[in-house]
Amino acid sequence: MALNNVWVFAQVANGAPTSATLELLTKARSLSSSVTAFIAGDGNAAAAALGEYGATKVYAADTGKNLPGVAIASAMKAVIDGGETPDLVMFPQNYEGRDVMSRLSVKIDKTVITNNVDIVDSGNGVTVVTPIFGGNTLVSTTFTGAAPFLAAFRPKSFAAESAGGAAAAVTAVSVPDLGATGGAQVNAVHVEETTGPKLDEANIVVAGGRGLGEAPAYAMVDELATILKGAPGASRAIVDAGWVPYSYQVGQTGKVVKPNIYIAAGISGATQHMVGMKGSKNIIAINKDKEAPIFGVADLGIVGDVHKVLPKLIEALKGR
């Protein structure tokens, strides 16, 4: 089927669209000539960038203190009820994206297919591709029934490329009365301070796992990342243990990274970790267990103790 009208749930951070948003817009414009970005907050600030990457129209909804999930989904539903007919709504596979698509799927009674890395419109069906078993197997699923189709994509599934488009036209839409569903209110926002490149944008990522033994040993990972002008990352095991904040987590439920170089120190390579870093160009792994699954994807694998290898490596690099 022809996708005449594609919507993208767009997100902004510090006034600019997130990279996941630009990736989705790039893909959306290859699927359809009419691409609409749906955004929480001020659409005007982002209209130029959204237009540049392919959005022709922006719907902006002021969500106030509401969590964006229920508020944006309600605003989307109101626009659909007003007569607009999106064939496909694309979401980033992240916290906010998940909340919006879940609420919308119920409001319009449509299935939502999550965790995708690709989408194909064959002309007689729209098919999404989802990796399972740590990305070893790719499952293609075709939407049945009538549009709109709802699909969520993992970050970095598509390369963001500017189309050189003009600023998108912004239409403010209001959030309908949410009744009881709008009861949750955000009263304070806490942002963790970080220095250096962002984890999902860094050219080099140094990640640590439970093999470091104890929280203070993470300082080695931090130091190596700093020396290499990269970003420090982590497995979920040490995030859950409270050694580092969640924003460090790489994997299925954390960030997807595709740096030039990924160094995994004391990480076993669980499938949920691998889906977040397997796309790295070059992978170096240090693990004392030569059977660790991480070695299956490593370009250079060191079977050894992180407490012996990392200090020497840091020393050698410092001396340069």
Q: Residues interacting with ligand FAD, by CB under 6 A? A: 209-211, 213, 235-238, 249-254, 266-268, 270, 272-273, 276, 286-289, 292, 305-307
Q: Return the residue of 4, 33, 142, 162 that touches other proteins, per CB under 8 A.
A: 142
The interface partner of residue 191, options being other proteins, ligand FAD, none and the CB cut-off 5 to 8 Å by kind, is: other proteins
Helix or strand holding residue 256 (H, E): none
Residue 229 Cβ vs other proteins, minimum distance, rounded to whole Å: 9
* 3-class secondary-structure state, position 87: coil
The interface partner of residue 82, options being other proteins, ligand FAD, none and the CB cut-off 5 to 8 Å by kind, is: none
Residue 61 Cβ vs other proteins, minimum distance, rounded to whole Å: 17
The interface partner of residue 292, options being other proteins, ligand FAD, none and the CB cut-off 5 to 8 Å by kind, is: ligand FAD
* Rounded Cα–Cα distance for residues 127 and 240 (Å): 35
Between the two ends of the chain, the Cα-to-Cα distance in Å is 59
> Residue 199 or 238: which CB sits closer to ligand FAD?
238
* Rounded Cα–Cα distance for residues 179 and 174 (Å): 15
What is the pattern of x (binds other proteins, CB under 8 A) and - over residues 216-255?
------------x-------x--xxxx--xxx----xx--
Q: What are 196's strand-pairing partners?
A: none
135 is an interface residue for other proteins by CB under 8 A? yes
Residue 290 Cβ vs ligand FAD, minimum distance, rounded to whole Å: 9
Q: What is the footprint of other proteins within residues 28-57 (CB under 8 A)?
A: none
Helices (H), 13-120: 19-31, 43-52, 68-81, 95-107
* Rounded Cα–Cα distance for residues 242 and 215 (Å): 8
Q: Judging by DSSP bridges, how do beta strands 118-121 and 126-132 pair with one another?
A: antiparallel
127 is an interface residue for other proteins by CB under 8 A? yes
> Residue 105 or 253: which CB sits closer to ligand FAD?
253
Q: Which of 203, 249, 232 is nearest to 94 (CA)?
A: 249
Residues 6 or more apart whose CB falls under 8 angstroms from that of 253 comprise: 236, 272
Name the token pair of 80.
Answer: 């659909």
185 is an interface residue for other proteins by CB under 8 A? yes
Q: What is the footprint of other proteins within residues 194-223 (CB under 8 A)?
A: 203-204
**For residues 286, 290, 291 and 296, what is the CA-based torsion angle, rounded to 10 degrees?**
50
Residue 170 Cβ vs other proteins, minimum distance, rounded to whole Å: 24
* Rounded Cα–Cα distance for residues 315 and 185 (Å): 49
> Residue 97 or 266: which CB sits closer to ligand FAD?
266
